[in-house]
Amino acid sequence: MELMEAIKSRKSIRGYKPTPVPKETLAKVLGTATRAPSAMNIQPWKFTILGGKVLDELKEALQEKFLAGVEPHPDFPPYPRLAGAYRNRQVEVGKGLFQLMDIAREDKGKRIEWGAKMIRFFDAPNAIIISLDEEVDGFLSIFSLGSVSQTIALAAVDFSLGTCIEHDPVYYPEVIRQIAGIPESQKIAIGIAIGYPAWDFPANKLESAREPLDNIATWHGV
């Protein structure tokens, strides 16, 4: 697939077919994605790739914490409450998803159900946890983890795979550490759901908006 086409066609996938992704395919996606740039080429990323019974166990354990109302405590905290244009964009994507999923604002039950699905990696057959050694924690590494995450998402497109980069499933890092065997010395940054998209799943129809370039770019001398 042409690069520009792949960039344009990538979108977050929130409904998957149950078919597991072959290990060789996951290895190709991840191996290629490690061509991503990283500050000083330190390659701070560590991947833990999950599927089968281990992933089922993790999904169950994360969901249990979520449904019990345990306060999320990820290694890297989410934004405090957003405001202005940022809040508007957040609300827009949330509204779009809820509309497609037929979840009314006041329907607490369905909202909780959606939250549980989200923490279960949207029931994807595979998931990738990206972590980093504490000794290289900091801006440059987190930036580099972003670069490898997007490269994974793009490489996945070439194999007709869908992904959703997700912060929600890493809300309870001790659960992931225990089940996926990630040592205490590593911080858990992000999860990526990966699998073959169920294209008839309503949320997968979402076309998230982007701010026009003119609103975010300032040009000088060009």
Q: Which is nearer to ligand FMN, 51 or 162 (CB)?
A: 162
Number of amino acids touching ligand FMN (CB under 6 A): 12
Q: Any idea which residue has 């909202």 for tokens? A: 111
Q: Which is nearer to ligand FMN, 22 or 107 (CB)?
A: 107
CA–CA gap between residue 180 and residue 127 (Å, rounded): 11
Among 164, 180, 192, 198, binds ligand FMN (CB under 6 A): 164
DSSP 95-140: HHHHHHTT--TT-HHHHHHHHHHHHTGGG-SEEEEEEEEGGG-SHH
Q: Which is nearer to ligand FMN, 11 or 65 (CB)?
A: 11
Q: Compute the least distance from the CB of residue 165 to ligand FMN, in Å.
A: 4
Q: Compute the least distance from the CB of residue 26 to ligand FMN, in Å.
A: 20
Among 6, 39, 54, 93, binds ligand FMN (CB under 6 A): 93
Q: Compute the least distance from the CB of residue 91 to ligand FMN, in Å.
A: 11
Strand partners, 47: 130
201 three-class SS: coil
Starting at the edge strand found earlier in the chain, the sheet holding 162-166 runs 46-51, 126-133, 186-195, 162-166
Q: Which stretch binds ligand FMN (CB under 6 A): 11-19, 22-30, 52-60, 124-132?
A: 11-19
179 three-class SS: helix
Q: Compute the least distance from the CB of residue 185 to ligand FMN, in Å.
A: 23
Measured in degrees and rounded to the nearest 5, phi and psi for residue 154 equal -75, -45
Cβ neighbours of residue 190 under 8 Å, at least 6 residues apart?
Answer: 129, 130, 145, 149, 165, 166, 167, 170
Among 48, 168, 179, 180, binds ligand FMN (CB under 6 A): 168
State yes or no: residue 167 binds ligand FMN (CB under 6 A): yes
- Residue 197 near residue 156 (C-beta atoms within 8 A): no
State yes or no: residue 142 binds ligand FMN (CB under 6 A): no
Q: Which is nearer to ligand FMN, 23 or 107 (CB)?
A: 107
- Residue 128 near residue 58 (C-beta atoms within 8 A): no
State yes or no: residue 151 binds ligand FMN (CB under 6 A): no
Q: Which two tokens stand for residue 64?
A: 């249990």
Q: Compute the least distance from the CB of residue 7 to ligand FMN, in Å.
A: 10
Binding site for ligand FMN (CB under 6 A): 11-12, 14, 93, 118, 164-168, 190, 208
